A and B are shown apart, each in its own frame.
Chain A
Amino acid sequence: MAGAAGPGTGPGAAGGDGDDSLYPIAVLIDELRNEDVQLRLNSIKKLSTIALALGVERTRTELLPFLTDTIYDEDEVLLALAEQLGNFTGLVGGPDFAHCLLPPLESLATVEETVVRDKAVESLRQISQEHTPIALEAHFVPLVKRLASGDWFTSRTSACGLFSVCYPRASNAVKAEIRQHFRSLCSDDTPMVRRAAASKLGEFAKVLELDSVKSEIVPLFTNLASDEQDSVRLLAVEACVSIAQLLSQEDLEALVMPTLRQAAEDKSWRVRYMVADKFSELQKAVGPKITLNDLIPAFQNLLKDCEAEVRAAAAHKVKELCENLPPEGRETIIMNQILPFIKELVSDTNQHVKSALASVIMGLSTILGKENTIEHLLPLFLAQLKDECPEVRLNIISNLDCVNEVIGIRQLSQSLLPAIVELAEDAKWRVRLAIIEYMPLLAGQLGVQFFDEKLNSLCMAWLVDHVYAIREAATNNLMKLVKKFGTEWAQNTIVPKVLVMASDPNYLHRMTTLFCINALSEACGQEITTKQMLPIVLKMAGDQVANVRFNVAKSLQKIGPILDTDALQEEVKPVLQKLGQDEDVDVKYFAQEALSVLALA
Chain B
Amino acid sequence: MMPGIGVLTQDTLWCFSQVKGTIEIGATEADIISTVEFNHTGELLATGDKGGRVVIFQREQESKNQVHRRGEYNVYSTFQSHEPEFDYLKSLEIEEKINKIRWLPQQNAAYFLLSTNDKTVKLWKVSERDKRPEGYNLKDEEGRLRDPATITTLRVPVLRPMDLMVEATPRRVFANAHTYHINSISVNSDYETYMSADDLRINLWNFEITNQSFNIVDIKPANMEELTEVITAAEFHPHHCNSFVYSSSKGTIRLCDMRASALCDRHSKFFEEPEDPSNRSFFSEIISSISDVKFSHSGRYIMTRDYLTVKVWDLNMENRPIETYQVHDYLRSKLCSLYENDCIFDKFECVWNGSDSVIMTGSYNNFFRMFDRNTKRDVTLEASRENSKPRAILKPRKVCVGGKRRKDEISVDSLDFSKKILHTAWHPSENIIAVAATNNLYIFQDKVN
Contact = CB atoms under 8 A, between A and B. Distances in A.
Contacts of B281: none
Nearest to A306: B261
A111 B133 contact: no
Contacts of B136: 30
Contact of A62 (B129, B152, B156): B156
A112 B171 CA distance: 10
Interface string B278-291: 00000000000000
A114 B129 CA distance: 21
A502 B240 CA distance: 68
Contacts of B167: 72
B259 A152 contact: no
Given A8-B152, A154-B108, A268-B259, A229 B190 contact: yes
Nearest to A54: B154
A13 B153 contact: yes
Given A19-B148, A192-B191, A152 B133 contact: no
Given A29-B156, A32-B157, A269 B129 contact: no
Nearest to A115: B208
Contacts of A66: 133, 156-159
A155 B138 contact: no
B105 interface: yes
A307 B138 contact: no
A307 B262 contact: yes
Given A29-B154, A154-B108, A191 B191 contact: yes
B242 A268 contact: yes
Interface in B147-204: 148-159, 167, 171, 189-192
Interface in A211-269: 228-231, 267-269
B314 to A, nearest CB: 21
A307 B261 contact: yes
B391 interface: no
A26 interface: yes
Interface residues of B, number: 44
B154 A25 contact: yes
A525 B151 CA distance: 65
B107 interface: yes
Contacts of A309: 262
Nearest to A111: B108
A65 B259 CA distance: 48
Given A112-B107, A268-B259, A269-B262, A30 B137 contact: yes
Contacts of B127: 72
A532 interface: no
Contact of B110 (A58, A112, A268): A112
A598 to B, nearest CB: 45
A269 B259 contact: yes
A63 B190 CA distance: 39
A111 to B, nearest CB: 7
Contacts of A140: none
Contacts of A155: 108
A567 B192 CA distance: 68
- In terms of DSSP, what is the predominant structure of the interface of chain B? loop
A174 B152 CA distance: 48
B125 interface: yes
Contact of A54 (B107, B151, B156): B156
A33 B259 contact: no
A154 B207 CA distance: 14
A180 B5 CA distance: 37
Contacts of A154: 107-108
B156 A114 contact: no
A308 interface: yes
Interface in B118-143: 125, 127, 129, 131, 133, 136-139
B112 interface: yes
A112 B262 CA distance: 28
Given A19-B152, A112-B107, A268-B242, A33 B262 contact: no
Interface string B211-244: 0000000000000000000000000000111100
B153 A9 contact: yes
Interface string A419-461: 0000000000000000000000000000000000000000000
Contacts of B105: 190
A125 B37 CA distance: 41
B261 A269 contact: yes
B412 to A, nearest CB: 49
Nearest to A157: B107
B422 to A, nearest CB: 32
Contacts of A152: 106-109
A114 B261 contact: no
B123 to A, nearest CB: 10
Contact of A29 (B109, B150, B155, B259): B155
Interface string A20-59: 0011011101101100000000000000000001100010
A278 interface: no
Given A29-B157, A192-B192, 11 more contacts: A13-B154, A29-B137, A62-B156, A63-B156, A72-B167, A114-B208, A152-B109, A191-B191, A229-B190, A270-B259, A308-B262
Interface of B: 105-110, 112, 125, 127, 129, 131, 133, 136-139, 148-159, 167, 171, 189-192, 208, 239-242, 258-262
5 contacts: A13-B154, A54-B156, A191-B190, A192-B191, A192-B192
Closest 4 CB pairs of A and B: A26-B137, A268-B259, A62-B156, A152-B108
